Structures are given as structure tokens and as C-alpha cells.
């Protein structure tokens, strides 16, 4: 009985357990289904509703590349002596987070940084730097909510930039006066201005010039407290020859300015950042692509707020490639000394009555290769009574050359068929009705042939070439008949073949092409024929005479001889990358016999002609041409006569290796004037040969051996 009852009870319990199991499984399945449904719904919300915001956060935390500048390439002279180096400079920089930072945060950072540095030590300079707008913006940060409430309904509808301008305008002078604008506060504002100038993830120099070691150390100690601030080593240019040749080496933008705004698209498209320093003149600009180097590439990792949480160098930087100049700095320094010394002598000479003499220029170049060996220009500042190195005037300033260009005139006459070898022309003055009589500087005989005209520097011979080329019928004191105005173009076409009135092609970012007269009067054509109308630079005159010296081949003048890999720190340039080969721009359209005829005339100028008395004592063979051009100065309605003195030449007369041009504008007049052009030219040639004998062949051999290793 008991057994049956227990059995029945057991069966009931088993049935109850069986009935409960499907119910629990159902609950479990329903729960799992609900959880997966919630996950699917949440995923949809993230992807569909919040997808854009999620992607933005992903972008904020991705790795972002940035670049750091490296030192620029160095300059060496032709003997591999270092000319322009890099100098380490301690700097404080600021690297903004991705997407920038708020004005409030930057003000707080500026206040913290101001505890350790003062970026303008001079009180007056600091006052000049901080503008009225800077003060208003500072006041605005302190009273933003109050100022924003002043806007009218119309002003509220303006775009953010215009609205901000109206808010700043609403700040009164009385409100500004309520601030104590002391030196410490102005320093904070000056620092904030630098912080505002920085671009995201691009290091911007806050201060380097004037930064003391103590300030640098303090900032370095507190870097963890100032996010984005760093104490680094920056680089600046260090010239080893002071201002010698500096105007041709050129300048860079400052660390404050970065790339120029007017060319920003070009620089940004070529891998520059806003804060990069670039060349703005001279060879620094011309060879920017060589000197800039390969920047160090850094990968930044940022959090969702744009704050840098990690950085990693992914590409090591390499400083720019080195440049070897064609210039020998020993010769350059000597030429500077010669030009300044002779200019000083001429200005103080008792017979010099010009009162306007202030410049002297000289160029030495190799006629065979176009290599510029030295270029010097010294200017006397009459107000400050000091002599300044203005070497750039050789390519910027144009002056009437006078008789120096008569070689080109004679060659034009040959080629046009109006004269030939040995042609004799009347030497008498020329008088066109209605104009002043024009003649040679003195009576040179009743007639001269072509070589004699160069030797004695006849103006009349050149003018008669011009009349023949123009096709005009000339009778003394009568108008010219059948004058062809195309004669101006004919002359200038021939002159341009020598580099006169056109670009020389020198490797600089800018050069003047000379000044071309625009009044096509017959008398001006006569003046043009003997160098008293159009004006040329000293470098153009050097290229002109070098073309004659080089048998009619015009070479491109250049200042850079080689491009080399960066040196290894032992004072030597690195491996040769590129050697600048001589480049022929053109061969003048003249027969060889005519060029040789002009060369003979140039040789006679120095052996028996207008230069003989000045050069008789020099032991070197020289050929060339002297020149004098009228250059009247108008002051207070009065005319004071002055003259441009020029001299072009080459040495030796056979197989020339150096050509030169000297220009001295606004000298006095008269036969007793100090012959400054001859003295500069003579001493320059002497210096060339003396230094040639002292060339440091050992240094050159050492560089070549170093390259092979």
C-alpha cells in the first residue's frame, strides 16, 4: 500500500518536472532573442543615426602625419671653404592639437608660459607690437557674455566673422582704460599672438631670438604642465664672411612669418607647411629646392579631443644639399677692398668736382665657362658717411656704358655690310639741322679705319655706321632724308646677341634687363651707336666683353658650380650630385674674321690706345675697351655735368681666362679726374693672377679624396 502510494507520488513529481522544462527553455529562448534584438537595434542606431558622429570620433583618434623642418644646405666657395653655415638656436615652439584650440585655452597657456619667458625684452618694441585690436580681443575674452548681449537683432544675423567685428567695435575706450596694460600683461598678449599664428599639428616658433638659457631651462622643466609647448633646437644662418657676397646669398623668411602669403599655394602644393622658412632672395630663393632638405616626418596619435597622446618618427629628416659657388671668397674679399679703396680715393680726390659720385661696381667672370669669379659693388652713403657693400647693384642697376660697347657697333656694321675690314670713314663731327653737333671727344685725325676707331675710341666712326645702317642721306646741317627708324631694332638685335638689353641668364631670381630708350629720333640713334642712350647692368657688360673674348660664344653666367650631398660634419661637403656645365646661350651672327678684327682693336686699346697710359706698368696682357658716357644730374632746376666711367676687358689677350667689367656712375668731368675705372680694373686683374698662383690645391684634392672614400 505504501509502495503504491510512493510510486504514484513519484509519477506526479516526474510529470511536474517534465511540464516545467519546456517552459524554462521558452523563457531562455525569448531572453536570447530579446538581447540579440536590442544589439541589432543599437547597431542600427550607431550606423544610421550616429554614424557621422562615430566616424568623426574615429577620425579624431586616427594617426595624423606631420613634418618637422631640418637645417638647410650649406654654401662653400670654389675652393671648398665654408661660406654659409647653420647655427643651432634654442627655441620655444607650440604645436596646436588637431582642429586647433579655443581662444580661452590659448590665453591660459600664454599666461602659464609668461611665467617663464619674455619674448620682447624692450619696452618700446613690446608697445609697438601690441595693437589696439590685440587689446580689444583680450578684453573680449574677459567679458565675452556681456559684450555679446550688446548686439542688435540685425547684428545677430551677421555671419560669425562680421558679428565678431561688431562685438570688438562695441568695446569703448573707457572699458579699455580700465585694464592695467602693464609689461607683464602685454607679454601675455604677445605670447598669445604667437600661439594664434600656429597651425594644427605644425610646430610654430614662439621665441628664439633673445631667449636666454635660463628661460629655456625653466620652460623645459615645466613642459608637462603646458600641452603643446616644447623646448627645441632650431636653426639659423651663420655667415662666415660677414656681409661679403651676402646680397647674392640672399635671405630667408623669419620663423615668425613662414612661407610668403602671395606664394602660399605654390609652397603648400610642394610639401611645405605654413611655418616653414624659405628663401626670399638671391641664391637662397633660386636654389630653394636644393637647400630645403628632407623634413622629418612624425606620426601623431590624438584622442577624441584632438590632444596629442603619442608621437612617432616615421621618416628621419636630412638637412638640405650643399652648394659650391663659382666664387673664390679670397678674390671676392680682395675685390671688395679694391672697389671701396678706389671709391674712397676718387671721392676725396681734389680734382673730383662731381659731388654725386657714390657707387662703383665690378664683375670678374670666366669667359670660357660663364663662371662668375667675383662681383662687387660699394656705395658711399653721404648722409651717414659710410661705405656699404651693395653687390646686388651689379645685376639691378643700369647705366649708360659709353664707348665700352663700340665693339658691338663695329660688328653690327660688318654684318650689315656697311663697313668691312679696313674701311676708312670721315672723322669730322656730325651736325643734323635742329640738333647739337656730335663729335668724338677730341680731334683724332681726318679719317680712321675700323681698328683705329676702336683703338682711339672714335664717336664719329660709330655714328657714320649708324647713318649707313639707317639708310639716311646726310649733309652737314641739313635734315636727314630717308632715315629708316628700323635701325634702332637692327642695332638692338645685334646688341642682344652679346647680352646687352636682355637677360644674361644668371642663376638668380631677378636681374634687370637694362633700360631701353623709347624716343626714336635720329640723334638718339647716333648716341646709341657709341653707348650714350640705352643703359645696361655691369653683369651685362661683363657678358658682352666675355662673348668677344670667347670668339663670339655667349655663355650663361652662373654663381653655382656644384651641388653636393650634405657633409658629414668634418668640414667637407659630401658626394658630388651635379656639376653645373658651361652653357652656350648663342653664337653671335658674325664671321670669325670680323670677331678677330674687333679683338685686335681691343688689344690695341691697351697697348697703344686710350687705356695704354693707365696700364703700361702692369705685367699682364690685357685687351678691352674704355668708356665714358654723359650723365647730367638735375638738382633744384640746375644741371651739373657728370660722367659714367666704364671699362671692359679680358686677359690674357690670347686664350682669355678672365673677363671684367667696371662701372662708376656720376663721376666728375675733365681730363684731370681720378681714373677710378682703370685703377679698379688694373688692381682686380693683378689680384686675380696673384690669387690664382695661391690657389689651395691641397684643399681641392682633399675634397676629391673625401668624395672617393
SS3 283: helix
Alpha-carbon span 177 to 631, nearest angstrom: 59
Cα-to-chain-centroid distance, residue 531: 31
Q: Which one, of 614, 612, 623, lies nearest residue 656 by Cα?
A: 623
CB-count exposure of residue 270 (10 Å: 0-12, 13-18, 19+) = exposed
Per-residue HEC secondary structure of 117-185 comes to: CCCCCCHHHHHHHCCHHHHHHHHHHHCHHHHHCCCCHHHHCCCHHHHHHHHHHCCCHHHHHCCCCCHHH
Catalytic annotation on 470?
Answer: no
- The set of residues, in sequence order, having a beta carbon less than 8 Å from that of 34 and lying 6+ positions away, is none
How far is the CA of 539 from the CAs of 279, 391, 546, in angstroms? Answer: 23, 11, 10
Sign of CA dihedral 357, 676, 556, 81: negative
Please spell the DSSP secondary structure of 7-30, one letter per residue: HHHHHHHHHHHHHHHHHHHHHHHH
Q: Buried b / exposed e across 5-17, counting CB within 10 Å, b at 16+?
A: eeeeeeeeeeeee
Q: What are phi and psi of 375, to 5 degrees?
A: -140, 125
- Give the residue carrying C-alpha cell 673730383: 352
Alpha-carbon span 465 to 474, nearest angstrom: 12
Alpha-carbon span 394 to 339, nearest angstrom: 13
- The set of residues, in sequence order, having a beta carbon less than 8 Å from that of 525 and lying 6+ positions away, is 466, 470, 487, 488, 491, 533
Sign of CA dihedral 336, 380, 508, 71: positive
Q: Which one, of 531, 509, 91, 79, lies nearest residue 283 by Cα?
A: 509
Q: Which one, of 118, 98, 93, 134, lies nearest residue 226 by Cα?
A: 93
Sign of CA dihedral 390, 394, 400, 406: positive
Alpha-carbon span 195 to 206, nearest angstrom: 7
Alpha-carbon span 648 to 543, nearest angstrom: 10
Q: Buried b / exposed e across 83-93, counting CB within 10 Å, b at 16+?
A: bbebeebbbbb
Q: Which one, of 357, 358, 389, lies nearest residue 376 by Cα?
A: 389
Quote the crossing angle between the two packed helices 183-196 and 132-142, to the nearest 10°: 90
Alpha-carbon span 605 to 609, nearest angstrom: 4
| β-bridge mates for residue 576, sequence order | 564
Alpha-carbon span 396 to 688, nearest angstrom: 25
Alpha-carbon span 494 to 321, nearest angstrom: 40
Q: Which one, of 128, 143, 140, 137, lies nearest residue 192 by Cα?
A: 137
Of 202, 247, 376, 403, catalytic? 403
Residues taking part in catalysis: 403
Amino acid at each position: 500500500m505504501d509502495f503504491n502510494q510512493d510510486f504514484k507520488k513519484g509519477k506526479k513529481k516526474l510529470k511536474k518536472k517534465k511540464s516545467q522544462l519546456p517552459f524554462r527553455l521558452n523563457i531562455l529562448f525569448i531572453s536570447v532573442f530579446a538581447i540579440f534584438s536590442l544589439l541589432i537595434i543599437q547597431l542600427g542606431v550607431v550606423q544610421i543615426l550616429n554614424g557621422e558622429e562615430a566616424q568623426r570620433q574615429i577620425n579624431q583618434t586616427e594617426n595624423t602625419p606631420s613634418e618637422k623642418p631640418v637645417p638647410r644646405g650649406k654654401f662653400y666657395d670654389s675652393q671648398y671653404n665654408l661660406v654659409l653655415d647653420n647655427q643651432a638656436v634654442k627655441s620655444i615652439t607650440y604645436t596646436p592639437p588637431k582642429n586647433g584650440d579655443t581662444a580661452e585655452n590659448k590665453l591660459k597657456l600664454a599666461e602659464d608660459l609668461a611665467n617663464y619667458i619674455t619674448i620682447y625684452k624692450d619696452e618700446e618694441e613690446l608697445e609697438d607690437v601690441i595693437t589696439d585690436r590685440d587689446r580689444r580681443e583680450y578684453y573680449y575674452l574677459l567679458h565675452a557674455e556681456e559684450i555679446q548681449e550688446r548686439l542688435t537683432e540685425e547684428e545677430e544675423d551677421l555671419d560669425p566673422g562680421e558679428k565678431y567685428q561688431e562685438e570688438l567695435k562695441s568695446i569703448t575706450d573707457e572699458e579699455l582704460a580700465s585694464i592695467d596694460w602693464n609689461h607683464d600683461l602685454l607679454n601675455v598678449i604677445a605670447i598669445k599672438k604667437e600661439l594664434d599664428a600656429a597651425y594644427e599639428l605644425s610646430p610654430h616658433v614662439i621665441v628664439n631670438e633673445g631667449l636666454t638659457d635660463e628661460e629655456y631651462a625653466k620652460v623645459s622643466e615645466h613642459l608637462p604642465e603646458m600641452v603643446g609647448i616644447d623646448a627645441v633646437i632650431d636653426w639659423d644662418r651663420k655667415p662666415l664672411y660677414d656681409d661679403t657676397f651676402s646680397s647674392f646669398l640672399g635671405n630667408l623668411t623669419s620663423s615668425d612669418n613662414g612661407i610668403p602669403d602671395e606664394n602660399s599655394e605654390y609652397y603648400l602644393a610642394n610639401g611645405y607647411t605654413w611655418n616653414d622658412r624659405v628663401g626670399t632672395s638671391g641664391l637662397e630663393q633660386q636654389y630653394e629646392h636644393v637647400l630645403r632638405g628632407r623634413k622629418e616626418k612624425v606620426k601623431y596619435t590624438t584622442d577624441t579631443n584632438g590632444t596629442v597622446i603619442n608621437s612617432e618618427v616615421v621618416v628621419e629628416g636630412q638637412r638640405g644639399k650643399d652648394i659650391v659657388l663659382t666664387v673664390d671668397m679670397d678674390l671676392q674679399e680682395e675685390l671688395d677692398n679694391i672697389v671701396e679703396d678706389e671709391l674712397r680715393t676718387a671721392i676725396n680726390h681734389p680734382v673730383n668736382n662731381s659731388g654725386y659720385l657714390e657707387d662703383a661696381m665690378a664683375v670678374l667672370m670666366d669667359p670660357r665657362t660663364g663662371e662668375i669669379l667675383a662681383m662687387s659693388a660699394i656705395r658711399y652713403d653721404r648722409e651717414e658717411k659710410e661705405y656699404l657693400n651693395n653687390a646686388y647693384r651689379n645685376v639691378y642697376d643700369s647705366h649708360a656704358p659709353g664707348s665700352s660697347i663700340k665693339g658691338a657697333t663695329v660688328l653690327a656694321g660688318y654684318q650689315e655690310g656697311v663697313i668691312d675690314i679696313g674701311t676708312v670713314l670721315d672723322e669730322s663731327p656730325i651736325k643734323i639741322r635742329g640738333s647739337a653737333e656730335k663729335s668724338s671727344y677730341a680731334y683724332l685725325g681726318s679719317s680712321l679705319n675700323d681698328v683705329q676707331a676702336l683703338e682711339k675710341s672714335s664717336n664719329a666712326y660709330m655714328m657714320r655706321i649708324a647713318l649707313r645702317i639707317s639708310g639716311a642721306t646726310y649733309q652737314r646741317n641739313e635734315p636727314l632724308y630717308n632715315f629708316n627708324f628700323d635701325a634702332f631694332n637692327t642695332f638692338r638685335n645685334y646688341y642682344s646677341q652679346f647680352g646687352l638689353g636682355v637677360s644674361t641668364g644668371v642663376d638668380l631670381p631677378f636681374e634687370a634687363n637694362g633700360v631701353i630708350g623709347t624716343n626714336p629720333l635720329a640723334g638718339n640713334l647716333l648716341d646709341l651707336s657709341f653707348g650714350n642712350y640705352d643703359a645696361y647692368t655691369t653683369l651685362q657688360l661683363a657678358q658682352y666683353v666675355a662673348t668677344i673674348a670667347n670668339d663670339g660664344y655667349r655663355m650663361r653666367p652662373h654663381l653655382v658650380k656644384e651641388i653636393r650631398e650634405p657633409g658629414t660634419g668634418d668640414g667637407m661637403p659630401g658626394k658630388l650630385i651635379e656639376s653645373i656645365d658651361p652653357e652656350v646661350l648663342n653664337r653671335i651672327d658674325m664671321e670669325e674674321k670680323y670677331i678677330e678684327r674687333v679683338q685686335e682693336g681691343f688689344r690695341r686699346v691697351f697697348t697703344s690706345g686710350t687705356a695704354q697710359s693707365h696700364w703700361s706698368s702692369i705685367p699682364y696682357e690685357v685687351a678691352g675697351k674704355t668708356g665714358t658716357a654723359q650723365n647730367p644730374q638735375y638738382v633744384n632746376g640746375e644741371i651739373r655735368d657728370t660722367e659714367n666711367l666704364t671699362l671692359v676687358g679680358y686677359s690674357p689677350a690670347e686664350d682669355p681666362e678672365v673677363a671684367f667689367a667696371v662701372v662708376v656712375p656720376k663721376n666728375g668731368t675733365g681730363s684731370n679726374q681720378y681714373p677710378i675705372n682703370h685703377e679698379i680694373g688694373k688692381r682686380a686683374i693683378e689680384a686675380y693672377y696673384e690669387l690664382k698662383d695661391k690657389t689651395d690645391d691641397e684643399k681641392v684634392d682633399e675634397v676629391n679624396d673625401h668624395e672617393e672614400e
